[in-house]
């Protein structure tokens, strides 16, 4: 049975930009009510103005802040009564080796990419279980399947989110709550400009980039079809396939990609 999206309440993190913003537009188009969250109120208000009407509410939330999480969830419930779909999308990366990674970048990635989705899942799951219906959508990454050097810690946070999503799906089997893992490949968003550059820079890590709209269409389609996983971009699918047959070959490809796509600003010695 497909999941009827009409009138569903969708809370999206990182809805001010890129994939999260496009997901807000696409779920809204599918008839959902949207709780659009991020730190940038001006961008959320611009999104709400663009979509218009009563089916979207912009809510400021730094997902790493427990107080802001609690307030945002309260606002969502006051406005729409409950949450049907949680989209854990907010994320950030720092490009550098493990050794050179500043402590605060490490903490920020762990808090934002991994701990915050767990906290939000734990906050909304009881009400979903009570209703016997709901969806958790986690936006991970292809690098959650196959690490790319100079993005090793970012990849590891995505691998952790991927693993969490798989475990959650098993824990929730038969409860009526669906779990969807989304693994985008390179997507044309401000992600690479917003990322911290310590000793490597990158504008892209693949030859082709999907538009965030294309990713969002796949997310909403998979949500409606109750899919378990969706991996995006041909290159993204290819590297996960290669890895299934040879970890050595996949590592060699990712080293080459890192060398060409993320030239070291300072010599780092990795990936000779
Ligand atoms: N772009 C790619 O190539 C790619 C590939 C694979 C996976 N992904 C993943 O896709 C997701 C979306 O990324 P994107 O490409 O759309 O990047 P983006 O355009 O930079 O968007 C990131 C979003 O996260 C929000 N955010 C950052 N820190 C936050 C915080 N502390 N609290 C709440 N929101 C926060 C930002 O909003 P504010 O700054 O307003 O808070 C923004 O809306 C991320 O999880 C990313 O890891 C991206």
- Average the pLDDT over each of 27-36, 135-144, 197-206 and give the range with the smallest value: 197-206
pLDDT tens column, 50-94: 999 899 999 999 999 999 999 999 999 999 999 999 999 999 999
Query: For residue 113, how far is its CA from the centre of ligand 1 (angstroms)?
Result: 9
Cβ of 141 below 6 Å from ligand 1: yes
CA 58 to CA 56: how far, in whole Å? 7
Q: Is the pLDDT of residue 6 over 60?
A: yes
Ligand 1, atom 1, lies closest to the CA of: 187
Q: How far apart are the first and last CA of the chain?
A: 51
Are residues 62 and 114 in contact, defined by beta-carbon separation less than 8 angstroms?
no
Q: Is 3 known to be catalytic?
A: no
Q: Is the pLDDT of residue 107 over 70?
A: yes
Q: Radius of gyration (Cα) for the chain, nearest Å?
A: 18
- Greater model confidence, 237 or 271: 237
Backbone angles phi, psi at 39, to 5 degrees: -90, -25
Cβ of 139 below 6 Å from ligand 1: yes
SS3 of 76-103: HHHHHCCCCEEEECCCCCEECCCCCCCH
Give the chain's domains with CATH numbers: 9-261 (3.40.50.720)
Task: Tally Cβ neighbours within 10 Å of residue 266.
Answer: 10
CA 189 to CA 196: how far, in whole Å? 15
Are residues 89 and 20 in contact, defined by beta-carbon separation less than 8 angstroms?
yes
Query: For residue 211, how far is its CA from the centre of ligand 1 (angstroms)?
Result: 14
Give this prediction's pTM: 0.95
Catalytic residue among 3, 145, 154, 210: 154
* Two tokens, residue 49: 């103005």
Query: For residue 126, how far is its CA from the centre of ligand 1 (angstroms)?
Result: 26
Cβ of 187 below 6 Å from ligand 1: yes
């Amino acid at each position: 049975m497909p999941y009827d999206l009409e009138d569903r309440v969708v809370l999206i993190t990182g809805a001010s930009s890129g994939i999260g913003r496009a997901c807000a537009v696409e779920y809204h188009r599918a008839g959902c009510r949207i709780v659009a969250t991020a730190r940038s109120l001006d961008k959320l208000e611009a999104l709400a103005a663009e979509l218009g009407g009563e089916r979207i509410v912009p809510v400021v939330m730094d997902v790493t802040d427990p107080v802001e999480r609690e307030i945002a969830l309260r606002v969502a419930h006051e406005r729409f009564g409950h949450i049907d779909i949680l989209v854990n999308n907010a994320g950030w990366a720092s490009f550098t080796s493990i050794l050179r990674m500043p402590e605060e970048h490490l903490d920020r990635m762990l808090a934002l990419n991994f701990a915050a989705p767990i906290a939000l899942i734990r906050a909304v799951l009881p009400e979903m279980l009570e209703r016997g219906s709901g969806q958790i959508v986690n936006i991970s990454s292809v690098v959650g399947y196959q690490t790319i050097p100079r993005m090793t810690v970012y990849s590891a946070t995505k691998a952790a989110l991927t693993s969490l999503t798989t475990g959650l799906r098993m824990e929730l089997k038969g409860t009526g709550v669906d779990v969807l893992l989304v693994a985008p490949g390179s997507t044309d968003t401000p992600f690479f400009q917003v990322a911290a550059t310590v000793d490597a820079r990158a504008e892209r890590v693949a030859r082709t980039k999907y538009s965030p709209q294309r990713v969002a269409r796949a997310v909403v389609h998979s949500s409606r079809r109750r899919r378990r996983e969706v991996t995006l971009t041909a290159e993204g699918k290819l590297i996960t396939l290669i890895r299934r047959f040879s970890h050595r070959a996949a590592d060699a490809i990712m080293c080459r990609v890192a060398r060409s796509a993320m030239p070291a600003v300072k010599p780092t010695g990795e990936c000779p």
